[in-house]
Amino acid sequence: MSSRSRHKEGEFTFLRKLLARVPTGRGVVVGPGHDAARVRAGAKDWLLTVDSQVEGVHFQRAWLSLSALGRRSFRVAASDIAAMGGRARFVLVDCGVPERLPLASLQRIELGLVEEAQAWGAWVVGGNLHRSVELALSVTVVAEAPRRRVDRGAARPGELVAVTGNFGDAALCVHLLRSRRPCPPGLLRRWQMPPRLDRLGRMLVEGGLPSAMIDVSDGLVQDLQHVCEVSGVGAELNAASVPRSQAYRRLVGDDLTFALSGGEDYELLFTVPAKRLEAVRQLARREGVALTVIGRVVRGHRVVVEQQGRELHLQRFGFDHFAG
């Protein structure tokens, strides 16, 4: 349930707000505007989300195998569920099929998706096929909600901002592929296969540890801004502390553009009171997930990104130093 950051962000922000205003009622615990909706079904709550992968927008076929496309499509959609602490259970796939696509190709995509879902404990229970110009996969995930609730709107001043994993690899990879430059295999795999963070997400939520959580799909700063906006707070982000891979540093040095605003990282970003940080660290260690504190929540409404004592300013398509 994210917009794609590459395309006229203002429009999508407007539309996200539009969608967040639609009326909801009985049974809707968390409505539009979050990673996933939370609905009441009998005694239990369920999470619902949809996300899509469209050829030419999110991927080119040369960038990954058909099976990997199926797997990636599931992981991208399931990332929203991980950020709400859910357990993916049922999957629907709506597939737009270009005329020229061989049957065997569709079968390979389908099998990749089915296998990936199964590995997460989820079943593909139905789907729909239709013609389209672009190969397009729209994946709906239905998940068991955790008993506790976490969303984007409860960050409080004084709390820490923490993230899992590294940032910028996926966006840098796409940038290289689009400009037809060689992309190291490690970066490519990182883009092809978003991280699996559902177990950690669930343990964090069930443990009542984060105050707010989101999966970073649109870009680290933008998604942090979204959390701040909904929570009515600001944040200070220490740019140098944003975790980046060796491959990233080797390719772009200290350039933080892709790490801060590239998007498609599908890592978890959350706010947490300092006293609960050690408990979070223990869970992350047990899951083998890297955890980094990158800033803190402050009063106000701005996300201030600092590097070497200076404030970085967001440009339309990325970050740039503010000439001091």
**Using rule CB under 8 A, residue 11 touches a copy of itself:** yes
Least distance to a copy of itself, CB of residue 228, Å: 21
Number of other CB atoms surrounding residue 93 within 10 Å: 23
Applying CB under 8 A, the site for a copy of itself has a residue count of 68
What is the side-by-side order of every strand in the sheet holding 318-321? 212-215, 268-272, 160-164, 291-298, 234-238, 303-307, 310-315, 318-321
Among 27, 158, 185, 186, binds a copy of itself (CB under 8 A): 27
The answer to whether the beta carbons of residues 233 and 155 sit under 8 Å apart is yes
Compare residues 123 and 241 and give the one whose CB is closer to a copy of itself.
Answer: 123
Among 64, 68, 82, 114, binds a copy of itself (CB under 8 A): 114
- How far apart are alpha carbons 184 and 247 in whole angstroms? 8
Residue numbers 57-76 binding a copy of itself by CB under 8 A:
57-58
**Using rule CB under 8 A, residue 225 touches a copy of itself:** no
Least distance to a copy of itself, CB of residue 214, Å: 14
Provide the residue type at 202 as one letter.
Answer: R
| Tokens standing for residue 19 | 């969608």
Q: What is the DSSP letter of 145?
A: P
Compare residues 72 and 89 and give the one whose CB is closer to a copy of itself.
Answer: 89
Among 51, 169, 218, 265, binds a copy of itself (CB under 8 A): 51
Among 78, 110, 155, 167, binds a copy of itself (CB under 8 A): 110
Among 60, 61, 119, 126, binds a copy of itself (CB under 8 A): 126
Least distance to a copy of itself, CB of residue 276, Å: 29
Residue located via tokens 């397009």 = 136
Compare residues 57 and 274 and give the one whose CB is closer to a copy of itself.
Answer: 57
Compare residues 174 and 247 and give the one whose CB is closer to a copy of itself.
Answer: 174
**Using rule CB under 8 A, residue 4 touches a copy of itself:** yes
- Give the start-end residues of each E strand in the chain: 28-30, 37-41, 44-54, 87-97, 123-131, 136-144, 160-164, 212-215, 234-238, 268-272, 291-298, 303-307, 310-315, 318-321
Chain-centroid distance of CA 171 in Å reads 12
Provide the residue type at 278 as one letter.
Answer: E
Helices (H), 84-197: 103-119, 169-178, 185-192
The answer to whether the beta carbons of residues 227 and 150 sit under 8 Å apart is no
Compare residues 10 and 324 and give the one whose CB is closer to a copy of itself.
Answer: 10
- How far apart are alpha carbons 95 and 316 in whole angstroms? 33
**Using rule CB under 8 A, residue 123 touches a copy of itself:** yes
**Using rule CB under 8 A, residue 190 touches a copy of itself:** no
Residue numbers 163-182 binding a copy of itself by CB under 8 A:
none
Among 132, 238, 241, 292, binds a copy of itself (CB under 8 A): 132
The answer to whether the beta carbons of residues 88 and 123 sit under 8 Å apart is no
Handedness of CA 172, 178, 184, 185 (dihedral sign): positive
Stretch that binds a copy of itself, among 124-132, 168-176, 190-198, 247-255 (CB under 8 A): 124-132
Positions touching a copy of itself (CB under 8 A) are 1-4, 7, 11-12, 14-16, 18-19, 22-28, 31-34, 36-37, 39, 41-44, 46, 48-52, 54, 56-58, 89-90, 92-94, 96, 103, 106-107, 110, 114, 118, 123-134, 136, 138, 140, 142
